[in-house]
Structure 1
Amino acid sequence: MRLTKDVVQKLLDMNEGFEKTTYSRDRNFKATYHYLIKGGKLLVRSKGKTSWSDSNFDNTKVANLEQTRNFLRKAIDVLKTEGIK
């Protein structure tokens, strides 16, 4: 499936409320990424910390088109795709 701008929007609209959580851990870094499709957009919440004492972070943002495409490519097997070519 080719993820054109129109196809991306159809997938987001069809999968309203879809959630997925991923984790990342490295030597001095730990993060949780929570993805939520809401209102025709992909919201990404990143929460974690690094080795610095004041380095906790908790950010929420709307993913841009390229970030949304990358997410959809990875999650396409569990998303609703009926009728989309």
Structure 2
Amino acid sequence: MYRQLLGLRQLTRRTISSSARRQLDNTVKDKQKVFQEDNGVPVHLKGGTMDVLLYSATMFLTVFGSGYVVYELFSAAMPKKPR
């Protein structure tokens, strides 16, 4: 049992220490150029299509939620008449 655990320990050390790291390109400079250029686009929309979709969804939910709150407050303020 001890030999098996020792063999497993050596195997895990070998695979972790010998595995190559993935090299990622540093894209921070490119992102800074895109976000800092003065082209008239608001900064919250400069990220591309996904930013536009998230912004539109947020605005829709905000307007819809505000309208629903006003509707519910109005319906709570005006009680139904008994028949």
Greater percentage in helix: 2
Query: Could you say which structure has the higher strand fraction?
Result: 1
- TM-score (normalised: structure 2): 0.21
TM-score if structure 1 supplies the norm length? 0.20
